[in-house]
């Protein structure tokens, strides 16, 4: 792994404790003689000193060895989509609630930097979903770390969707929506929709209907080399396409979303003593 000499910081400034955590990270960086940088939205949030400022997260990621992300899982999802393909590792510091992706807490920051300095960490790769939506005459290209979700609009009526995997017809769903999820996203909306939890390194995607009309409709798990096509068949109801819960596009009858594995990946820093299952036990409060 590359020696860490320059660290970038991105924070969700809407989090009340973000400025304090930024100060903690800056203190650790400077006390160890490391270089530090940030992106333009951070200017004026607190005393950053004379650190280098870049115009965007992607530009920042291309010029640092490690990107520290302060916020919740939503912040990590946003940053992951913005910097995907740069291959810079991400270290998430949790200023939110659950924190599946941002596992380090404020009282663990100093210990985390000790481990970074001594090389006591691993990099865990996470796959991304690429989505190409054909909405009327327009084409939209997006990537997601968690999921693509098709859901009904403001009217409380089921939508109608057709699903194909590798050109094979799967089913026509009458439902409130459909979640196409990566393993990372299996602990997010997919889990709430009743699907199973998938370990991060599994090479699969899951397709889960939300409140389907037929109780026989269940989650389908496919190889992540598959191409998943969803066609909107609802006559009068609008369907909303959501990308990681952050980007939203209205779809109508005849519109299509094509999902496949992205060529880009992201990398998360993981420290000894932590595991996916220990995170599940902690965050989901498993007992027994």
Token digits for 188? 């997010």
In this prediction, what percent of the chain has a pLDDT beyond 90?
76
Dihedral pair phi/psi, residue 181, rounded to 5°: -120, 145
For this structure, is 73 an active site residue?
Answer: yes
- Annotated catalytic residue, options 73, 147, 176, 244: 73
| 139 — pLDDT class (breaks 50, 70, 90) | very high
Predicted local confidence at residue 283, as pLDDT: 82
CA–CA distance, 216 with 171 (Å, rounded to integer): 11
**Average pLDDT score, the chain:** 92
- Stated pTM of the model: 0.93
In the chain, % helix, strand, coil (3-state, to 5) comes to: 20, 40, 40
Residues 124-144: what's their mean pLDDT? 95
pLDDT of 163 reads: 97
pLDDT at position 1: 63
What's the Cα-to-Cα distance from 214 to each of 14, 205, 277, rounded to whole Å?
41, 22, 32
């Amino acid at each position: 792994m590359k020696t860490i000499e320059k660290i970038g910081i991105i924070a969700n400034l809407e989090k009340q404790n973000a400025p304090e955590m930024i100060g903690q990270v800056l203190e650790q960086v400077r006390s160890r003689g490391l270089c530090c940088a940030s992106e333009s939205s951070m200017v004026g949030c607190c005393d950053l000193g004379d650190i280098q400022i870049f115009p965007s997260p992607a530009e920042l990621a291309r010029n640092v060895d490690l990107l520290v992300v302060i916020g919740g899982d939503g912040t990590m999802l946003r940053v992951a989509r913005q910097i995907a393909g740069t291959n810079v590792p991400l270290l998430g510091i949790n200023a939110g609630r659950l924190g599946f992706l941002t596992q380090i807490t404020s009282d663990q920051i100093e210990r985390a930097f000790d481990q970074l300095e001594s090389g006591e960490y691993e990099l865990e790769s996470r796959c991304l979903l690429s989505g190409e939506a054909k909405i009327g005459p327009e084409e939209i290209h997006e990537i997601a770390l968690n999921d693509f979700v098709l859901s009904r609009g403001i009217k409380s009526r089921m939508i109608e969707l057709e699903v194909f995997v590798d050109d094979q017809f799967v089913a026509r769903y009458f439902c409130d929506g459909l979640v196409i999820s990566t393993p990372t996203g299996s602990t997010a909306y997919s889990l709430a929709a009743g699907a199973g939890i998938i370990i991060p390194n599994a090479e699969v995607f899951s397709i889960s209907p939300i409140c389907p009309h037929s109780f026989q409709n269940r989650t389908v798990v496919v190889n992540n080399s598959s191409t998943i096509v969803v066609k909107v068949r609802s006559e009068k109801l609008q369907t909303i396409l959501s990308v990681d819960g952050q980007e939203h596009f209205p779809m109508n009858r005849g519109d299509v979303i094509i999902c496949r594995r992205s060529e880009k990946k992201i990398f998360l820093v993981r420290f000894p003593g932590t595991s996916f299952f220990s995170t599940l036990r902690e965050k989901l409060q498993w007992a027994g």
